[in-house]
Structure 1
Amino acid sequence: MRVLLLGGTAEARALAAELHPETAVISSLAGRVPDPALPVGEVRIGGFGGVDGLTRWLRDEAVAAVVDATHPFAARITANAAVASARARLPHVVLARPAWPVGEAIVVDSDLDAADVVVERGFARVFLTTGRSGSAAFANVDAWFLIRAVTPPDDVDLPPGHELVLSRGPYHYADERKLLVDYDIDALVTKNSGGDMTRAKVDAADDLGIPVIMVDRPRLPAGVSTVSNVIDAAAWVRAL
């Protein structure tokens, strides 16, 4: 049985390893990150050409099921996969890692809303961790930003006052706490990505009394089936 696994996350790599070699898993990566961590088994890199392209690809490759284990904020591919799977009449499930508890965080709907909060609250030194595409919303904000991303923003205006740090998780509590203190950070802006790889910054900020501005994750397409962990996703595939 051939299964398309939309990946690029730690959960996707773990699921590919869990199913290998009993299931022919084709892991698909968007190709936006240079030198990505690759899963075991067959890997394809790049887009499909929207819903129509993905639908054709699923049929041409005789795929039997689709597992979407992309990042919680990869809304476009998640929406396309739901529609294409329905058109191809294939079983489809989303591996949706649980969101972080928001606690005392200021929850907003978008990067632009987060930028508005920074301005309204008068934060001066902000740790910005919304990824390379999220930095543009803060280009005209009069504050200093420590911007952390896996790859540099492409053709995006950055705030005049900033330092760019390129790194990839997992991150650890002691290091995150030291970073917040050393840079005299007075606000953290993050997406509610969930998972353990990047949670430490939120815990450290909470313990230091630093306000957290958290961008809420986009809603999943209506009617999709979901599982919350790798074991349940593997069980879903095996049950087919």
Structure 2
Amino acid sequence: MRILLLGGTSEARALAAKLHPDVEVISSLAGRVPDPALPVGQVRIGGFGGVEGLRRWLRDNTVDAVVDATHPYAATMTAHAAQVCAELGVPHLLLARPAWDPGDAILVNSDTQAAKAVADQGFSRVFLTTGRSGIGAFAQLDAWFLIRAVTLPEAAELPRRHEVLLSRGPYRYDDELRLLREHRIDALVTKNSGGQMTRPKLDAAAALGVVVVMVDRPPLPAGVSTVDSVDDAAAWVGSTVRP
């Protein structure tokens, strides 16, 4: 059995470990994060080259099934995988970690809308944790930003007043509480990534009365089989692909 596991998440690493060595798993990472945490088994790093590249790769490598365990905001990869697997008749599963309950957060649909919410509400000190790809949306705002990212953002995309904190989770509640207090944060901007690795920032914000602006998840492709746990994904592989 050969599975293409679209990964880069803790769930993908856990699934690779659970299937190994009974299933041949090829984990695919986008390659956007330096020195990524690697799963057990085979690993490929880098994009496929769009829909046609993914189609060709699946054919050339005789893949029995595809499990998409990418980040909830990897919408392009998720859409490509759903399209190609449907076209080729390759069994396909989406492992999507449960979203957070947004609660009282200001819910928006994009980084641009999040920047508008920050401007409209007049926040002055913002903890920005949406990742480097969306930072440019905040470049023209007058607020001060504490920007947490895994890799250094492009200088041209940074707001005029900012501090960059290079860091990678998981994070602890006490540390997040201290960070918000020390920097006198009045708004947290985040994506609804779900999971426990970055959840403490929300709990710390709630404890301090910090307003949360949350970018909602992109919609999933229609008709895709979806589970929300590693155990369910492993069970699907076992029932779908036979030696």
State the TM-score bracket (shorter-chain normalisation).
Answer: over 0.9
Contact 1:145/1:163 (<8 A) preserved: yes
SS for the counterpart of 1:171 is coil
Contact 1:31/1:46 (<8 A) preserved: yes
In structure 1, the residue matched to 2:201 is 201
In structure 1, the residue matched to 2:129 is 129
Task: Give the drift of 1:155.
Answer: 6.1
Distance 1:222 1:206 in 2: 34
Alignment of 1:62-73 (within 5 A): 62-73=62-73
In structure 1, the residue matched to 2:163 is 163
Distance 1:157 1:14 in 2: 34
Residue 211 in structure 1 maps to residue 211 in structure 2:
yes
Alignment of 1:40-55 (within 5 A): 40-55=40-55
Alignment of 1:44-193 (within 5 A): 44-154=44-154, 156-193=156-193
Distance 1:145 1:95 in 2: 33
Contact 1:135/1:156 (<8 A) preserved: no
Residue 31 in structure 1 maps to residue 10 in structure 2:
no
Contact 1:6/1:68 (<8 A) preserved: yes
- Superposed CA offset, 1:97-125 (max 9, x none): 00000111110000010100111110000
SS for the counterpart of 1:168 is coil
Contact 1:67/1:92 (<8 A) preserved: yes
Distance 1:100 1:130 in 2: 15
TM-score by length of 1: 0.99
Distance 1:61 1:83 in 2: 18
- Superposed CA offset, 1:53-103 (max 9, x none): 101110110000000000000000000000111122100010000000011
Moved over 4 A (4+): none
- Superposed CA offset, 1:1-40 (max 9, x none): 0000000000000000000000000000000111000000
1:134/1:236 CA distance change after superposition, 3 Å: same
Between 153-162 and 136-145, report the one with greater CA deviation. 153-162
TM-score by length of 2: 0.98
1:158/1:98 CA distance change after superposition, 3 Å: same
Give the percent of matched residue pairs that are identical in Structure 1 and Structure 2: 69
State the AA in 1 paired with 2:201.
K
State the AA in 1 paired with 2:161.
G
1:156/1:17 CA distance change after superposition, 3 Å: farther
CA-based RMSD: 0.7
In structure 2, list runs of 5 or more residues that go unmatched.
none
1:16/1:209 CA distance change after superposition, 3 Å: same
SS for the counterpart of 1:94 is strand
Distance 1:87 1:37 in 2: 32
In structure 2, the residue matched to 1:238 is 238
Distance 2:157 2:98 in 1: 32
Task: Give the drift of 1:154.
Answer: 3.8
State the AA in 1 paired with 2:238.
R
State the AA in 1 paired with 2:43.
V
